[in-house]
Amino acid sequence: MHNTLVNLDHFTCKLQNYSPKPENRENQQPKKMAPPLFSFLLLFQTIATATPLRPGFYSETCPQAEFIVRDVMYKAMIREPRSVASVMRFQFHDCFVNGCDASLLLDDTPTMLGEKLSLSNIDSLRSYEVVDEVKEALEKACPGTVSCADIIIMASRDAVALSGGPKWEVKLGRKDSLTASQADSDNVMPSPRANASYLIELFDKFNLSVKDLVALSGSHSIGHGRCFSIMFRLYNQSGTGKPDPTLEPRYREKLDKLCPLGGDENVTGDLDATPQLFDNQYFKDLVSGRGFLNSDQTLFTFPQTREYVRLFSRDQRQFFKAFVEGMIKMGDLQSGRPGEVRNNCRVVNHRPIDILLESLA
């Protein structure tokens, strides 16, 4: 899946053939004069034309952009170390749902259920306020220039680098979506119960390989997970009424104490033995049967993914290289839908296209 340019001629044709819905003339309020079609097309072109992604996209319009993002991320990490791991996960949760367009960041409205309360995000994703801080700093330096979608990409990279992991050059130039969909997120994002076979199939739909899947799962090298996500592993794996047999016994005892049956399922545990350091310990833990999530441990029990787990557990450089490649590929996912540069990452600037079209009636 690659960057897609929106076909403006197609949308112009839609405009020319647009038929408004029949009007209810009872108690009708006086209409505001519709803007000239040419003016509307100019507005539409500014938000519908996609720009190819490239490194250094803001080198002239906001040359300090990447420094500002890293600086805010560093301060957030000092304030709360867990926050950077949370922000790093935004790229996966955003890009897999209609491309990397910051739809994840939109708050719900009376007419739109966004992605924040989707099954994979509710009570799981956090630290949205860090992105708000980044956006506020960028708006002061370069108003209306840097998209929220690009902030997610830069902040995810910086979260890894600030935690001891690799640093890489990111491609920028994304636009922010005009809407979001809880249903789209629910239909795409995997649950903590997912097995490797399902994950391989899912990643393949996005042109991401088995190697990409295993490497990107290494994002769980930092951060924490909730007891809610592993209760079934501890007490009722696959409906057996028994714990997951792949859990190393002493690790299972540790998790039993952390997450007792009937206890607080919002308690969190370390995703690997070094939760604040981005390294290959995550893969070493999987080899020893100490993966926190079922979707993690299944990468070692499944033959197609096992050898990559072994490789990355032995060679951190190979893991870092594969992780960077996977993050860049994932960052290329684009929907081709019209977009904008939001002033506030939580709300759109412009009304949705269908409402703009309706205003011409």
Crossing angle between the packed helical segments 210-217 and 303-314, to the nearest 10 degrees: 50
Q: In this structure, what are the phi and psi dihedrals at residue 249, rounded to the nearest 5 degrees?
A: -50, -45
CA dist 53 and 339 (Å) reads 14
DSSP 273: S
Catalytic-labelled residue, pool 2, 10, 93, 350: 93
Tell which residue, 214, 191, 210, 215, has the closest CA to residue 200.
210
Pair of tokens at residue 347: 């709300």
176 is in an annotated binding site: no
324 is in an annotated binding site: no
In DSSP notation, 310-341 reads HHHHH-HHHHHHHHHHHHHHHHT------EE-
The C-alpha R_g of the chain, in whole angstroms, comes to 22
279 is in an annotated binding site: yes
327 near 212, Cβ under 8 Å? no
Tell which residue, 342, 341, 337, 334, has the closest CA to residue 353.
337
CA dist 143 and 163 (Å) reads 29
272 is in an annotated binding site: yes
190 is in an annotated binding site: yes
CA dist 257 and 349 (Å) reads 48
350 is in an annotated binding site: no
132 is in an annotated binding site: no
191 is in an annotated binding site: no
274 is in an annotated binding site: yes
Q: Which residues contact 232 (CB under 8 A, 6 or more apart)?
A: 193, 294
Whether 93 is a known active-site residue: answer yes
115 is in an annotated binding site: yes
Pair of tokens at residue 142: 């370069």
11 near 342, Cβ under 8 Å? no
Enumerate the known binding-site residues for substrate.
190
Enumerate the known binding-site residues for heme b.
220
Enumerate the known binding-site residues for Ca(2+).
94, 97, 99, 101, 103, 115, 272, 274, 279
Point out the residues that are catalytic: 93
Enumerate the known binding-site residues.
94, 97, 99, 101, 103, 115, 190, 220, 272, 274, 279
